[in-house]
Structure 1
Amino acid sequence: MRALSAAPLGADFWKLWTASAVTNLGDGITMVAGPLLVASITGSPAAVAGAVFAQQLPWLLFALISGAWADRLDRRRLVVAVNILRAAALAVLSLAVASDVASVPLILAVFFVLGTGETLADTASAAFVPTLVPAALRPRANALMYANFNLLNQFAAKPLGGWLFIAAAAAPFALNATTFALSAALLLAIRSISPPTPATSGSVPSAHEPSRSLWAEIGEGVRWLLAHRLLRTLAFTMAVGNVVFSAAFAIFVLYAAERLRLNEVAYGALLVAFAAGGFLGTLVAPALIRHVGAALLLRTGLLVEVALHATLAVTRSPVAAAAMIVVFGAHTTVWGVIVTTLRQRDVPPVMYGRVASVYSFLDLGGAALGSLLGGAVATAYGLVAPYWTAAAAMAVVAAAAWRPLRSATLRPSTDPSP
């Protein structure tokens, strides 16, 4: 971590990083406390699942629209406004919980607001790093941003969220409201994030022409991505990967109990392996990208995807499963840093929100579809069937993507696409 933090990334980047850190911690806490709150009000599994779905649904409804708005508006002001709105929604929920008047409809409404705000804030803020950081330093900067998610959202927030809820049920939501308010203040202090400006090239139409409809702008983002061979390949590879991963891991708690013979505590420890691998990937990603190269790392990552599912399909050893999950977690961070850096280099700033939103739509859409498929496949063919299916699917994806990925490099782009 010392090598990462020693990078001369500038004061504004560190404000952005701190804003990301506090919101990742707060989001992770609410992710744990939300279902606990619903479960304390009602024993309905549908209501508990509904709280998660209420936050995911806006990505399916609004992801592409949010991308277009992120390209129309001043992105910094948009994220600040959204964070203030999310802080207010969580403050209302916290007060309702403290007053013992919280209801399931209120919780679902707040979570829907949080999810809607997330589609706007995440899409708009994706363009901040290339504005603040020189191209040569972006792999390091992106690795640091991934560290926030792996270490704070996925690792530290989980036990903290549960502990805070037990101590005072309103506390997790009050803390998350505070993190959003702090993030807004930090972003307001960054003056070097410029709003989107109309493109000067005729290949990328301006997003500021009042006569153009929102759907026309969304279509431009989709067409731009489809015309870029490398980024198109990465987008659809990630989409298929999310389908099969979510299908396999939708029944992971049953797999761990029945095949690996793990109790609840050991199952929790196994989940930590994902975060541990992700944090390891954060530490090694800049050096690997510099010395190994993007193309080889992306191709190796596809083989890791196949190996993860194949290993889980054949093993009954918790140690082997955990070791493979750590490797997979490291791969996902390295892959994410590379893909993010490639997008930052190749996507015109005026199009960044729309192109990033297509990625988000494919990612979450794939995850939602996979979660539905996983239960059906496991019910029909047994617990290991989703893992065998995922291994076979990723092997096909690796073969299809192998040649296009050879052009992946973080040197200045030579892609002839617009």
Structure 2
Amino acid sequence: MTENGLGARYWKLWTSAGLSNLADGVMKVAIPLVAVRYTDSPALIAGLGFAFTLPWLLFALTAGALADRMDRRRLLLVANTARALVLACLTGVAVLGAGSIWLLYVAALCIGVAETIYDTSSQSILPQLVRREQLSRANGRLYAAELTANEFVGPPLGGFLVATGIALAFGAPVLLWVAAIGVLLLVRGRFRAERTAPSTIRADVAEGLRYLRRSTLLRTLAIMVGVFNFASSAVYTVFVLYAVGPQSAMKLSEPAYGLLLTASAVGSVLGTFLAEPVERLLGRSRSLVLTILGSLLLLVTPALTANPFLIGAGMLIGGITISIWNVITVSLRQRVVPLRLLGRLNSAYRLLAWGTMPLGAAVGGLIGQLFGVQWVFVVMSALVLLQLIPMLWVTDRRMDEAEAAIEAEDTAAVS
């Protein structure tokens, strides 16, 4: 690694992550669009979002324990291999004309399990590739690649491929995951966290949970993300019904729907580059307040209008602010948690932060079924607005104190 650069190993990980997230972006738009061919039920469509995210509720803690026990690069390879195999099988079944909504559920659940392993290991490996003071920049560049692929290129490509044929829509992510595996194999080194004594998976999970319980700062941030993810999951699992088809409010085609989603992606990419200067200008706490107000536009705009340009503008601003939140809070987490605990802390954090997504998907489907899709937007926007209350406690002073404490612990360990 050079003194000012992020190093060759980082950029190989960056490339692999970009390819992997491009596969995610295509797949996660293609599967709901294909599902619309099998059913028009809001509850069943929302159920796909539930299946994708349920593993974060059931498997996240185990994934974190594995990330602290095993080589994190190897776990990334295993996760991408599993996702490629599952989707390859689904592609073959679809080509033979035997596809169904229930097979999409099975595939979504399996891919979701692999995703918990991939994402937990990906966040945990980064401090082993760059120095602590480089984490904000490294996270920003990594998020830029991931978001460009996952939300900017992937959704319109997924919409186009579905219109072309199911085989291409599902086959393309398989090839992209294989390419990501090939690049990741070029990242040399050992990425297993040091362990002081043998322990069981159960003991490892318990230690990670205890650490999060003791850290009021991280626990508060995790709960806040959980509330937002609950709301956004509720909205976006039914948004396809609001946006796509001649009977919908927006009356968009499938490719146009994918294109609309890129507005959030453009904002997200811009946000990754704005995070550092905004953090320096406003401080972390004020920056996080700004992100809550901006992210509200993602959910509330469809409640007020069906105009795709206004909704797209809300998505653009929301995407910018969500990326700023992610860069600030993920870099904070990587700085204030010991490396040996980072996988378990990440998974415990995401249990609170992402475990709410399947619940949000279920609630969104239920509200949409009983009262109409627009009521999902209204209720969830009100929920996100309440996020301003805990920001009275999440201050710059508390974040600085948490960083100083771990630096003092590291210094004592070296001495």
TM-score by length of 2: 0.82
SS at match of 2:191: coil
Aligned twin of 1:304: 294
Equivalent residue number for residue 235 of structure 1: 222
Q: Which residue in the other structure is 2:413 paired with?
A: none
Q: Contact between 2:68 and 2:340, CA under 8 Å: does it hold in 1?
A: yes
The residue aligned with 1:203 is none
Kept after mapping to 2: 8 A contact 1:237/1:401: no
1:120 maps to 117
Deviates more, 1:383-392 or 1:74-83: 383-392
- Give the conservation status (yes or no) of the 8 Å contact 2:220–2:390: no
Pairwise mapping of residues 360-375 of structure 1 onto structure 2 (< 5 A)?
A: 360-374=350-364
Of 237, 262, 271, which residue of structure 1 is paired with 2:250? 262
Instruction: Indicate how the Cα distance of structure 1 residues 57 and 245 shifts in structure 2: closer, same or farther if over 3 A, else same.
Output: closer
Distance 1:121 1:101, change over 3 A: same
Once the two structures are superposed, residues 270-296 of structure 1 have per-residue CA deviations (whole angstroms, 9 ceiling, x without a partner) of: 533222221221231232223433222
* Aligned partner of 1:76 among 57, 73, 92: 73
Segments of structure 2 that go 5 or more residues without pairing to the other structure are 410-415
Distance in structure 1 (CA, Å) of the matches to 2:250 and 2:398: 40
Correspondence 1:248-259 to 2 at 5 A: 248-249=235-236, 252=239
Residue 156 of structure 1: aligned partner: 153
Query: Which residue pairs with 1:4 in the alignment?
Result: none
* 2:347 matches 1:357: yes
Return closer, same or farther for 1:292/1:184 CA change in 2, 3 Å cut-off. Answer: same
- Residues 1:111 and 2:111 are matched in the alignment: no
Give the counterpart of 2:26 among 21, 29, 37.
29
Match of 1:187 among 184, 189, 199: 184
Give RMSD over aligned pairs: 3.4
> Does residue 244 of structure 1 match 2:234?
no
8 A contact 1:89–1:110 mirrored in 2: yes
8 Å Cα contact 1:71-1:351 kept in structure 2: yes
Cα distance in 2 between the residues matched to 1:377 and 1:89: 31
Q: Following superposition of structure 1 onto structure 2, how do residues 399-410 of structure 1 map, counting pairs within 5 Å?
A: 399-407=389-397
Moved more, 392-401 or 370-379: 370-379
Partner-residue secondary structure (3-state), 1:404: coil
Structure 1: segments with no counterpart, 5+ residues: 1-6, 199-205
Q: Partner letter of residue 27 of structure 2?
A: T
**Cα distance in 2, alignment partners of residues 346 and 231 from structure 1:** 9
What amino acid maps onto 2:24 in structure 1?
A: D
The answer to whether the aligner puts 1:275 opposite 2:272 as a matched pair is: no
The size of the alignment, in residue pairs, is: 400
Residue in 1 that maps onto 2:198: 209
Q: Deviations over 1:105-154 (max 9, x none)?
A: 55444333222111112111211211111222221211122223322111
CA contact (8 A) 1:29 1:172 kept: yes
What TM-score does the superposition give when structure 1 sets the normalisation length? Answer: 0.82
Q: Distance in 1 between matches of 2:45 and 2:327?
A: 33
Q: Aligned residue for 2:412?
A: none
Match of 1:292 in 2: 282
**1-structure distance, mates of 2:33, 2:228:** 30
Q: Is the 8 A contact 1:341 1:410 kept in 2?
A: no
Quick one: which amino acid aligns to residue 224 of structure 1? Y
Instruction: Specify whether residues 298 and 128 from structure 1 end up closer, same or farther in structure 2 by C-alpha distance, changes over 3 A only.
Output: same
Taking a change above 3 Å as real, the CA distance of residues 138 and 313 of structure 1, as seen in their structure-2 partners, is same
Shift of 1:77: 1.4
Is the 1:230–1:407 contact (alpha carbons within 8 Å) kept by the matching residues of 2? no
Please state whether the residue corresponding to 2:6 is helix, strand or coil.
Answer: coil
